[in-house]
Structure 1
């Protein structure tokens, strides 16, 4: 677990802890000390702790002019025990919405498990982005299945071409434009 680190090749373009409009402005990540654990396993110190026991994030990029953010997720997304969607929504997304971000690219390949519960916060989030969307990229098959089984996929752009995007080979803007094109086709925009 300690070897899984967030994507770092865009750090020359954006660092959330140095962006005064970011909810993580001023957040400090140790380069050497492992301070966070998930189920008794230490995790790489570059993941950002948002107050969830098992879900960590990294805001890889935010563009306020275009109104989009790319967020990498890591761990177990557990709405049943920890209401992780509430924490993510209140601690990160609400602040980003206030800054005009209404399009979200959530990179989910490191979401190891998902446990669904009520959909109130998904409803709220989707209502607050009437001209935007929430894309869930590269989810593991069992995670995508759980999202679909609990009808959470109705709030997210998930599956199909969103399941296998080689996002690391693109610049943030190029990735955004690709996802935007797919979103517009799916949503009939």
Structure 2
């Protein structure tokens, strides 16, 4: 797991440590020291702790003018034991909602498993979005299936033409515009 790095090619557009509105503002990354682990396996030092021992994130891009954020994940999303959605909602989502973010793109290629619980935090997050939305790309099929078993798909948009496989080849704003257009058609805004 230590060889899985968060996507770094967008650092020229956005660096979470340089964003004064970010909860990681001013963070200094030591790429020589591997200290964080998931189930005893070291992970790359570029991943950020958000309150869960099994789920780490990297905020890849934030655009406060357009109100969107792109977050990449690594680990096991475990609502049953670690209440990961609570940590994500309280420590990251609530923080960025306060700064006007209401459109969330979650990148889950490195989510290895999902263990659900109730959907109350997802519902709360969805209710907080007002004119926004939450979408997930790159999640493995079995993870999406398990999320659907816990009704998470009622709050997070998955699949179909949202599955932008070539997201890394796009600039962050282009990825957002493509997903925003798709979501707009899905929910009748366009």
Q: What's the TM-score once normalised by structure 2's chain length? A: 0.97
Specify the alignment match of 1:67 in structure 2.
67
Separation (CA, whole Å) in 1 of partners of 2:62 and 2:125? 18
Show the counterpart of 2:79.
79
Deviation per residue, 1:82-133 (Å, 9 max, x gap): 0000001111110100000000000011111011101111011000101000
RMSD between aligned residues = 0.9
Counterparts of 1:149-164 in structure 2, within 5 Å, are: 149-164=149-164
What corresponds to 1:57 in structure 2? 57
- Aligned-partner Cα distance in 2 for 1:54–1:123: 22
Residue 22 of structure 1 deviates from its aligned partner by 1.1
Query: Mind listing any 5+ residue stretches in structure 2 that lack a counterpart?
Result: none
8 Å Cα contact 1:29-1:47 kept in structure 2: no
The 5 Å alignment of 1:1-189 reads 1-189=1-189
Q: Which runs of 5+ in 1 are unaligned?
A: none
Give SS of 2:33's match: coil
Contact 1:108 1:136 in 2 (8 A): yes
Judge which range, 130-139 or 161-170, deviates more.
161-170
SS at match of 2:165: coil
Q: Conserved in 2, the CA contact under 8 Å of 1:48 and 1:58?
A: yes
* Equivalent-residue separation in structure 1 for 2:13 and 2:41 (angstroms): 31
What TM-score comes out, normalization by structure 1 length?
Answer: 0.98
Runs of 4+ in structure 1 deviating by more than 6 angstroms, as ranges, are none
